[in-house]
């Protein structure tokens, strides 16, 4: 098998790779590096999925090819996202660690431009940038491209998807004609081919996709279920595999956020990553994901580019991508570094042909699996709980605490106690009222096909479903202005916290649950208003709930939680007045933070609020 020393790299660069522990190149590195070194200067196209080592494929030759004695900027690398530019710059610095004369700077939006201008005044041979920020710096005359010899377009397909084509056009107009262009991409849609034709001269091309070693540890699977059952199906996979950690890909930003909100409201550790988030929000989401503060990241294809997270067990495809290569790109997030991973597609009964097409084009084999039934979830949870108890080391103080119980369990048999403990575990399952035990579809039922077709048309058009939702929301908002008793089996409560405080439904459920010990699956409807909110709680779980918030302050403001009883005139007055004048005009920094942070609320108030007991 080939090694880096046989690819034509300098001894200095090879020694750095040895220090970093790299011994064997990946397929894209093995094919690209010799071409770039031996045919310099040459235009080049490298096609490969994420996680195959594309950065080293162009970064290592660049370290050897640039003139280290020339302090001018010679290399320009453009990438679509801040995360990708940061990772690329970090790797290049490591590759050049044995050569102190080579300097790498990274520039991107969302950070201080003045700091970046100051950094660029130093000798900088390599600049890694997002197109938007780079163009801004060019117009400010903070960077000169007169000496650019190499331009690298990394993740070219996504830069086009994100609308950077005009920026790239303008940026390249500032470079001289003698520069060479290296283009790396996971896919090659027509728009990328246009770039090739416009800016590149007889480029050499390397394509590394299906059947590569990078996919050998990925198991490709799919389920068939109705479109409306995809979310319950995801919940069941998360419930039955609590150690799961993965990414779920969605097509649109709206879909991504809606799914994250719905799962977050049920207490799952999920967050959304999409283009509507600010850079600060994106950074916060990624920090929590990398520190394992959430179970599932829900992302669009564009937002997920540049994410480099190890040990992901699953990749979910809420909807299959339009381009076959994008499937490879998505699934390549798992099954890395010799570890096994699962790529699971959720399809409806008319999409079998898409699975067949992916199998044929990528030379992979899919296994059809079943969505776990409610019975399987119950047995799985109880078995996990039983194993936890069996393997728990008894605390030295347990005996003393047991003696203080004064025989409270004496009238119960061992079986009675176990049944009660098992019931507490089953109560934590997120099974929705009326939810079918079997969410699987056959895939060849024409009636189901027709229904799924209507659902898919609703999804494309969205008008009917939005009108129904808007109508329903209108009814809910009218109802919220008039307090009412909770539906059967639930008690309805009022709380003087609302959306003006940056709260979401998920935040409120977490906050109430954390401070009252009411299980999160015991909440019913939650109706958020500007200055207040109503929430429903199972009437078997809410004993003494309001009293637990008596005397509690939220950032110096008295917190109020009380039953929303129609016979309670005071409650009617409070809710119709918007929860009190002390909320009006108040701003909260929480509204600028990402939603659904299930991993950071325990013991605290919503959105970083601090609570204290009043004296």
> Could you tell me the CATH number of the domain that includes residue 333?
3.40.50.300
298 lies in the same domain as 392: no
- For the cut 70, the answer to whether the pLDDT of residue 613 exceeds it is no
408 lies in the same domain as 326: no
Q: Which residue has the higher pLDDT, 301 or 600?
A: 301
Residue 211's pLDDT is 46
Contacts of 263 (CB under 8 A, 6+ apart): 231, 234, 235, 270, 296, 298, 596
Q: Are strands 611-613 and 552-554 parallel, antiparallel or unpaired?
A: antiparallel
Q: Are strands 314-317 and 246-250 parallel, antiparallel or unpaired?
A: parallel
305 lies in the same domain as 332: yes
DSSP 484: -
Alpha carbon distance 233, 377 (integer Å): 11
388 occurs within a structural domain: yes
Number of separate domains in the chain: 4
301 occurs within a structural domain: yes
181 lies in the same domain as 288: no
231 lies in the same domain as 145: no
Residue 82's pLDDT is 84
583 lies in the same domain as 509: yes
417 lies in the same domain as 517: no
N- to C-terminal Cα separation, the chain: 73
458 occurs within a structural domain: no
443 occurs within a structural domain: no
Lowest mean pLDDT among 8-17, 255-264, 430-439, 555-564: 430-439
352 occurs within a structural domain: yes
Question: For a pLDDT cut of 90, what percent of the chain falls above it?
Answer: 28
550 closest CA partner among 560, 542, 537, 564:
560
Mean pLDDT of all residues belonging to the chain: 78
Query: Of the candidates 336, 353, 373, which is a domain's last residue?
Result: 373
Number of C-beta neighbours around residue 118 at 10 A: 11
Alpha carbon distance 596, 533 (integer Å): 18
Query: Of the candidates 208, 237, 255, which is a domain's last residue?
Result: 208
pLDDT tens digit string along 377-417? 777 777 777 877 888 888 888 888 888 877 788 888 888 88
Mean pLDDT score, 12-26: 87
Q: Quick one: 536 exposed, middle or buried, by C-beta within 10 A (0-12, 13-18, 19+)?
A: buried
Residue 577's pLDDT is 31
215: confidence class by pLDDT, cuts 50, 70, 90: low
CATH code where residue 582 lies: 3.30.70.330
Residue 50's pLDDT is 66
Most confident segment among 58-67, 207-216, 256-265, 509-518:
58-67
295 lies in the same domain as 417: no
Alpha helices in 530-606 (DSSP H): 569-576
DSSP 3-state assignment of 271?
Answer: strand
521 occurs within a structural domain: yes
pLDDT tens digit string along 490-525? 899 989 888 766 677 877 887 888 788 888 878 888
Interhelix angle for 11-20 vs 82-95, to 10°? 110
238 closest CA partner among 271, 265, 270, 261:
270
598: confidence class by pLDDT, cuts 50, 70, 90: very low
489: confidence class by pLDDT, cuts 50, 70, 90: confident
Alpha carbon distance 154, 46 (integer Å): 9
Alpha carbon distance 87, 89 (integer Å): 6
467 occurs within a structural domain: no
Q: Find out whether 34 and 9 touch, Cβ atoms under 8 Å.
A: no
Number of C-beta neighbours around residue 170 at 10 A: 14
Question: For a pLDDT cut of 70, what percent of the chain falls above it?
Answer: 78
pLDDT tens digit string along 563-597? 875 433 333 333 333 333 333 233 333 333 333 33
433 occurs within a structural domain: no
43 lies in the same domain as 149: yes
171 lies in the same domain as 226: no
237 lies in the same domain as 277: yes
Structural domain for 267, as ranges: 213-373
Q: Is the whole-model pTM more than 0.85?
A: no
62 closest CA partner among 72, 80, 74, 51:
74
356 lies in the same domain as 410: no
């Amino acid at each position: 098998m080939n090694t880096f020393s046989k690819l034509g790299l300098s001894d200095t660069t090879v020694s750095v790779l040895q220090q970093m522990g790299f011994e064997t190149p990946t397929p894209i590195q093995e094919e690209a590096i010799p071409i770039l070194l031996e045919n310099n200067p040459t235009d080049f196209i490298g096609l490969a999925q994420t996680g195959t080592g594309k950065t080293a494929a162009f970064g290592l030759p660049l370290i050897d090819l640039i003139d280290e004695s020339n302090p001018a900027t010679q290399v320009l690398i453009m990438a679509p996202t801040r995360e990708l530019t940061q990772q690329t710059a970090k790797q290049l610095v490591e590759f050049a660690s044995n050569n102190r004369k080579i300097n790498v700077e990274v520039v991107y939006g969302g950070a201080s431009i003045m700091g970046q201008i100051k950094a660029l005044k130093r000798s900088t041979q390599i600049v890694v940038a997002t197109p938007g920020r780079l163009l801004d710096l060019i117009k400010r005359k903070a960077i000169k491209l007169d000496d650019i010899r190499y331009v690298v377009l990394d993740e070219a397909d996504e830069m086009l998807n994100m609308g950077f084509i005009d920026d790239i056009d303008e940026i390249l107009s500032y470079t001289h004609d003698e520069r060479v262009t290296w283009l790396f991409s996971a896919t090659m849609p027509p728009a990328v081919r246009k770039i090739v034709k416009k800016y590149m001269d007889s480029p050499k091309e390397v394509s590394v996709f299906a059947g590569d070693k990078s996919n050998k540890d990925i198991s490709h699977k799919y389920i068939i279920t109705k479109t409306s059952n995809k979310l319950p199906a995801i919940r069941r996979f998360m419930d039955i595999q609590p150690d799961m950690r993965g990414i779920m890909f969605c097509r649109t930003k709206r879909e991504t956020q809606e799914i994250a909100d719905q799962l977050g409201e049920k207490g799952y550790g999920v967050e959304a990553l999409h283009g509507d988030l600010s850079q600060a929000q994106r950074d916060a989401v990624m920090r929590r994901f990398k520190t394992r503060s959430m179970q599932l990241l829900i992302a669009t294809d564009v937002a997920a580019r540049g994410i480099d997270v190890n040990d992901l067990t699953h990749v979910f495809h809420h909807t299959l991508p339009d381009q076959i290569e994008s499937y490879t790109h998505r699934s390549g997030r798992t099954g890395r570094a010799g570890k096994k991973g699962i790529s699971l597609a959720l399809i409806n009964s008319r999409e079998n042909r898409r699975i067949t097409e992916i199998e044929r084009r990528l030379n992979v084999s899919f296994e059809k699996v079943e969505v776990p039934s409610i019975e399987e979830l119950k047995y799985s949870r109880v078995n996990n709980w039983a194993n936890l108890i069996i393997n728990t080391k008894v605390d030295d103080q347990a005996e003393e605490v047991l003696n203080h119980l004064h025989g409270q369990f004496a009238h119960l048999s061992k079986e009675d106690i176990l049944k009660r403990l098992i019931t507490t575990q089953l109560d934590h399952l997120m099974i929705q009222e009326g939810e079918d035990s079997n969410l699987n579809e056959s895939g060849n039922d024409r009636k189901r096909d027709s229904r799924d077709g209507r659902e898919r048309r609703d999804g494309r058009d969205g008008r009917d479903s939005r009108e129904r939702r808007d109508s329903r929301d209108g009814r809910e908002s009218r109802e919220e202005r008039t307090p009412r008793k909770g539906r059967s089996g639930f008690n309805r409560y009022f709380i003087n916290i609302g959306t003006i405080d940056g709260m979401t439904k998920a935040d409120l459920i977490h906050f109430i649950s954390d401070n009252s010990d009411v299980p999160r699956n015991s909440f019913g409807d939650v109706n958020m208003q500007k200055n207040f909110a109503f929430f429903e709680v199972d009437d078997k779980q809410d004993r003494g709930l309001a009293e637990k918030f008596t005397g509690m302050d939220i950032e110096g403001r008295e917190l109020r939680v009380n039953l929303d009883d129609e016979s309670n005139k005071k409650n009617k007055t409070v809710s119709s007045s918007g929860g009190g004048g002390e909320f009006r005009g108040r701003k909260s920094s929480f509204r600028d933070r990402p939603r659904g942070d299930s991993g950071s609320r325990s013991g605290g108030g919503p959105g970083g609020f601090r609570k204290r007991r009043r004296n």
